[in-house]
Amino acid sequence: MIFDVQKIREILPHRYPLLLVDRVTTITPNTNIEGYKNITINEDVFNGHFPIQPIYPGVYIIEGMAQTGGVLAFVSMFGEEAYNNGDKIVYFMSIDKAKFRNPVIPGDKLVYKLEVLKQKGGIWVLQGYAYVDNKLVAEAELKAMVVDNAEKKAQK
């Protein structure tokens, strides 16, 4: 199962410049997911981080992992044809054991690999890894929950 950016946009509420996953290449509901983001010099973040020696921020790497994990959670909970019309939203609960091993720079293909450590109801605990050229650049344990979007609920 491969999801292109259009399908990812149907599932996640994120939009440019904070949609940080371009494609999902592998997904096994309730188990694991793999996706990637192509890092280009055109990313807005490089205007300030850092103009002379651009380095993709670690917080963006973690957010990209989380977004990829969000796709896994939605597909696992709502099926292969998951579509989020804004009724649900994913919130971070914790980020633990984050480690950054190598910088990510323009031209890199940042691959996210996440596996489910625990899941109960709408709460997900995922182990996330980020790679460039099969070399580990970052890792973290992420905990998030899928909840009703209160704003959307109030509009109904």
Which positions are annotated as active-site residues?
Answer: 49
CA pair distance 113, 131, nearest whole angstrom: 8
Amino acid letter, residue 127: Q
- Name residues whose C-beta falls within 8 Å of residue 40's C-beta, 6 or more positions apart in sequence: 106, 107
Place of tokens 């259009």: 6
On the 0-12 / 13-18 / 19+ scale of CB atoms within 10 A, 141 is: middle
CA pair distance 67, 41, nearest whole angstrom: 21
Amino acid letter, residue 29: P
